A and B are shown apart, each in its own frame.
Chain A
Amino acid sequence: MATAQVDTHPEKTMEEVWEVARGFGLDPFPTHFEVVPATMVYEFGAYGIPGRFSHWTHGKAYYQMKTMYDYGLSKIYELVINANPSQAFLLDTNDALENKMVMAHVLGHTDFFKNNLHFAPTNRRMPESVSVNADRIARYEFEHGTLAVERFLDAALSLKEHIALHPDNELPATSPSIRPDAEESAPSPYLDVLRMGELAVEDEEPERAAKVPAVPEHDILAFLIAHTRDLEDWQRDILAVVREEMLYFLPQMRTKIINEGWASLWHYRIMEALDLPAAEYAAFSRMHAGVVSPGARMRLNPYYLGFKVLEDIERRWDNPTAEEREKLGRQPGGGRAKLFDVRETESDQSLLRKYLTEQLVRDLDLYTYQLVDDEWQVAETDWRVVRDSLVAGMDNFGLPVIVVEDGDYRHNRELYLAHRYEGVELDVRYAEKTLQYLFQIWNRSVHLETVIEDRKVRFSFDGRRNSKTVI
């Protein structure tokens, strides 16, 4: 590395980077950097956001990340948190050049946080919220015992991905007929959830036959918060905390490729514009190549893929083909403007669906793979198959879609979930364990309908035993 010394004047670096970024049209949140030792960066990485509640899964993630770092297998230069103002963390061992690149990269992220529409509903004061949540959970530990809280968190976290953002905090599809009361105060993050509870009570009195949920509910956590009867307040609150925090992380899960691609594109452009001395430029090029490097044979590198797709978009809109000019009226030189449009509207799924071209699939040598006997093999290289497989794999963040079908199954308040089977089977052992967790919350028999070996089956857990029935 050209400058192997720890950065002593980060303020100066910062001003330079900010000016160049603004000049390119980036519009980031105000961004505050904290210089911290490696252990803290890994801790924040493990928790997702500093100050989040205690749980052994976070400890496990921390241990894994730290071990990777200790063995020199991976290094995080920075960590950035979606908030206004945004918070970013720099390793205290970074040298001036590393900090320059990291700051440029971070501004790409904070620009994306501020301007991408998928981030619009996120709580920009989340760092405060998680601390308040953590304090409450710590109090529950004190009141109800650490083990009781841990066990309940284990259960809640097993379902954490099964949430959905209901537009404008309106009621979820469960209760289409109920409108928010006029005199309701400012919308709270739980509004949708709380209303579901009201609905359940109202519904049950007049007509007992009404099905709950009326239509299948994707947001399993919200359904549990609203309809589980035997929960204590603290348990309901823990479900709400898990859901609230996951809702905050949801857009990040949806925009990993485009967000990292965007940040990588701009750190590259900003660093080029900074007129680095030759030695520093060479060092930067090595770092950049490290970050934006092709994926492994069975895993894509989101930095690389995002970077390549965005670069390709800019190129194609800067130099439209004759056909594009004629048919689409595309004018040359529109690359930059197009890029900013894309950053405003797209998620990973829509980005790849619209902009992963035949040329890109071939140039990047992308393929689908599958297990044949005991070997993982390349299955398809056809660009449409690759694109569609990639896009489809992002449904529900690559997790199976599971909905609540019935909260009063067999008229016995048993819970009936259904897996929307689309050709890939569930991991049965995992599903059975997760049903046990679900039982811990629902407190009555729980069922999951899915397809195994082309037959419809129902997995159940009744509090004592897991069972499987072919339907």
Chain B
Amino acid sequence: MSTGMSISESDWSLHRKGPKDQARHQEKVREAIKGQLGEIIANESIITSDGSKIVKVPVRSLEEYTFRYDPFKKSGVGQGPGGSQPGDVIGQAPGQQPGKGRQAGNQPGIDYYETEFTIDELAEMIFADLSLPNLKEKGQQQVIAEKVRFNDVRPVGILPNLDKKRSLLQAMKRQAMSRSRAAPVEVGDDAEEVEVEPGLRIRKDDLRYRTWNVTHEMQHNAVVIAMRDVSGSMGEFEKYITRAFYFWMVRFLRTKYSSVRIVFITHHTEAREVDEETFFSLGESGGTRVSSAYQLCAEIMEQRYPADRWNIYPFHFSDGDNWGDDDNARCVTLVRHIIERCNLFGYGEIKEEVYSRWSTSSLMSALSEINEPEFVGITIKSKEDVYPALRKFFAAPTLPV
């Protein structure tokens, strides 16, 4: 060729790296999200939402860190449509939230990776390896959960479920068996046979459809008794943590154990059983007598959920600021009584760090004398502790039976 140019077309597919490196990038995105679950779980807007919301999760660890200028302190050069004057506004900076660092934006130099999740997707990630600990086979009245599985193939069905591969195989089989590739049939709109490839004709009765079976999954009787301190000493933070924990707990139970029963109890000086909505709406005021809740819990267990037929999981969240040592002692006795009959008793005490060193006679210090493995106590100091608390309660290793 007389020119200094040449051209060719060859197959580069063997040299490809993009998809592999892209997959690794996505894997890192997922890792990053998992690392941030603690923060995500404590996110106010998720917990106060109706549950159908899509959450935007900013993923930070995928930034490529370098020594660079602060993108907000840097000036730059831009271009306008003509006649720009000093002071003309050309863009909005993303708002800053105190203490939270810069939020995602589309300004130059900010390398944010934001992924969208539904709450269910998040819940799936959060609950992936959580379970009701120490679940035992109990009672005859086992609850049945229905599950739908696509695991069958039939010659009738609806078109969206057409199994193309099996249909073609069936057509081949039929032709091979008949050994008669005789005269081709006219192919038309209402022809019985359609030629999909030279020599291969497909008939209506070759078609195969994927279909489902309903399977029944046995589940054990289980009840979770959720107790919540609504006394006056519970501040905004304590209330928030309690709600956050129970929000995810209820979601977790409903996702994984469709048949589990949940009993809601609130208490100040007196305890009462409430419905779910009341339980989650904000609290009342007054003093605190935790033993009232434990008493009610024990009564409910006795009357409705006998231990020989039910797996029982009581949880209680409080700031630990109880009426007095008398009542703490009563609580210890009651908890000892309850753990003989339940699978796990979870107690979460919420203490913002500032106060913790002042409080000497918290419920936690009273309960800490209980050494049985069925009792799990956790202190929560910040929003980020909600996720570890969930993990500690629901990923606990199976207890010795």
Q: Does A298 contact B (CB under 8 A)?
A: yes
| Stretch in contact with the other chain, from A28-36, A172-180, A190-198, A240-248 | A28-36
Flag whether B188 is at the interface (Cβ < 8 A).
Answer: no
The answer to whether B3 and A425 touch across the interface, beta carbons within 8 angstroms, is no
CB-CB under 8 A from A32, the residues of chain B are 5-8
Q: List which A59-114 residues lie within 8 A (CB) of chain B.
A: 59-60, 62-63, 66, 85, 90, 92, 103, 107
Answer yes or no: A434 CB below 8 A from chain B CBs: yes
Q: Is A367 an interface residue (CB 8 A)?
A: yes
Q: Which of B339-382 contact A (CB under 8 A)?
A: none
Contact with A along B76-116 (1 / 0, CB 8 A): 11111111111111111101000001000001100000000
**Segment from A8-16, A281-289, A311-319, A339-347 that makes contact with B:** A8-16
Interface residues on A, range: 35 or more
Chain A stretch 1-47: residues in CB contact (< 8 A) with chain B: 10-11, 14-15, 17-19, 28-36, 39-40, 42-43, 46-47
Are B90 and A430 closer than 8 Å at their CB atoms?
no
Asked whether A54 lies within 8 Å of B21 as measured between CB atoms, the reply is yes
Tell me whether A30 and B5 are in contact in the complex, defined as CB-CB below 8 angstroms, given that A379-B75, A427-B71 are known contacts.
yes
Residues in B neighbouring A364, C-beta threshold 8 A: 79
- B-contacting 9-mer, from A207-215, A271-279, A329-337, A386-394: A386-394
Interface membership of A142, Cβ < 8 A: no
Interface size class of B (residues with CB under 8 A): 35 or more
B interface residues (Cβ-Cβ under 8 A, vs A)? 1-10, 12, 15-18, 20-26, 28, 62-93, 95, 101, 107-108
Q: Are B72 and A59 in contact (CB under 8 A)?
A: no
Q: Which residues on the A side are within 8 Å of B85 (C-beta)? A: 378, 381
Task: List A contacts of B23 (CB < 8 A).
Answer: 59
For the complex, would chain A's binding face be called helix, strand, loop or mixed by DSSP majority?
Answer: mixed
Complex: chain B residue closest to A220, CB-CB: B67
Given contacts A158-B64, A379-B86, contact A368 B76 (CB under 8 A): yes
Q: How many A-B residue pairs have CB under 8 A?
A: 241
Checking A63, A157, A390, A419 against B25 with a beta-carbon cut-off of 8 angstroms, the contacting residue is A63
B274 to chain A, nearest CB (A): 45
Chain B residue with the shortest CB-CB distance to A57? B64
Question: Do the beta carbons of B67 and A430 come within 8 Å of each other?
Answer: yes
A323 at the interface (CB under 8 A from B): no
Identify which of B69, B84, B90 contacts A424 (C-beta below 8 A).
Answer: B69
Q: How far is the CA of A389 from the CA of B77 in the complex (A)?
A: 7
**B76 touches which one: A62, A369, A402, A428 (CB < 8 A)?**
A369
In the assembly, what is the distance between CA of A377 and CA of B67, in Å? 25
The answer on a CB contact under 8 Å between A371 and B18 is no
Contact between B75 and A377, CB atoms less than 8 A apart: no
- Partner of B69 from A51, A90, A366, A425 at Cβ < 8 Å: A425
Q: How far is the CA of A6 from the CA of B7 in the complex (A)?
A: 15
Q: How far is the CA of A36 from the CA of B18 in the complex (A)?
A: 15
Taking a contact as CB atoms under 8 Å apart, the answer to whether B83 and A365 are in contact is yes
